[in-house]
Amino acid sequence: MENVFEIRDLSSWFGENQVLKKIRMDIAKNSVTSVMGPSGCGKSTFIRCLNRMHDMTTGFRMEGEILLDGTNIYSEKVDPVYLRRRVGMVFQQPNPFPRMSVFENVAVGLRLNGRNMSRSDIADAVERSLTMAALWNEVKDHLRQSGASLSGGQQQRLCIARALAVEPEVLLMDEPCSALD
């Protein structure tokens, strides 16, 4: 089976505190991979390393390689913005854009990624994404209300729909069910 990620001797630190120690693993394409362990063991740090979410974190450093389709994602040749278009992320805490409607929370990624889509195509993508996130039936009559007005579980599913809308090659989810109803 072909791998999407190859992790080679990944170690990371926050200041002097080593969080990850020489992780080696492959993640197969078209698979679901779960990272499990006790609280504070580095699961979130590991997941965030897979799309360079720690690039701007003061005191963070890492060693080793993370290859995405054979390319080291930490190479100077890799644009982190482009990487994050390919590798989406859903965080543990829901983070809908509070000044945007439910519809716009899902559509924003389509627009920001430079996709030239008609209004009808965007509406179809929003409905499809909300359906995949098991939220469409609850919000289809409230698409213009603020995403922040939804319950915690609905906000988390809204963030999942937003990530799915741009059709990333990889979707990283950090405890995506922790806020679900």
Q: pLDDT for 126-139, tens place per residue?
A: 999 999 999 999 99
- 71, β-bridge pairs: 68
Q: Are residues 7 and 91 in the same domain?
A: no
How far apart CA 109 and CA 162 sit, in angstroms, is 7
Q: In the prediction, which pLDDT does 180 show? A: 63
At 3, the pLDDT band (50, 70, 90 cuts) reads confident
Strands 170-173 and 87-90: parallel
Q: pLDDT for 5-41, tens place per residue?
A: 999 999 999 999 999 999 999 999 999 999 999 999 9
Once rounded to an integer, what is the mean pLDDT over residues 146-165?
95
Q: pLDDT for 94-112, tens place per residue?
A: 999 999 999 999 999 888 8
Higher pLDDT, 146 or 81: 146
Q: In the prediction, which pLDDT does 41 show? A: 93
Q: Are residues 83 and 31 in the same domain?
A: no
Q: Are residues 57 and 92 in the same domain?
A: no
Q: Are residues 83 and 73 in the same domain?
A: no
Q: How many domains does the chain have?
A: 2
Q: For residue 71, give Cα distances in angstroms to 41, 74, 136, 143, 145.
A: 27, 9, 37, 40, 42
Q: pLDDT for 53-99, tens place per residue?
A: 999 899 999 999 999 999 999 999 999 989 998 999 999 889 999 99
Range of the domain at 101: 79-181
The CATH number linked to 122 is: 3.40.50.300
How far apart CA 9 and CA 11 sit, in angstroms, is 6
Q: Are residues 89 and 70 in the same domain?
A: no
The domain boundary, picked from 24, 54, 78, lies at 78
The domain boundary, picked from 78, 94, 124, lies at 78
pLDDT over threshold 80, residue 181: no
Q: Are residues 99 and 152 in the same domain?
A: yes
Q: Are residues 84 and 153 in the same domain?
A: yes
Q: Are residues 64 and 86 in the same domain?
A: no
pLDDT over threshold 90, residue 115: no
pLDDT over threshold 90, residue 156: yes
For 9: left if phi > 0, alpha if psi spans -120 to 50, otherwise beta; the answer is left
At 177, the pLDDT band (50, 70, 90 cuts) reads confident
Q: Are residues 96 and 120 in the same domain?
A: yes
Is residue 102 a contact partner of residue 143, using CB atoms and an 8 Å limit? Answer: yes
62 DSSP 8-state letter: E
Q: Are residues 161 and 99 in the same domain?
A: yes
Q: Are residues 111 and 137 in the same domain?
A: yes
The domain boundary, picked from 43, 78, 113, lies at 78
Q: What is the pTM of this model?
A: 0.88
Q: Are residues 152 and 116 in the same domain?
A: yes
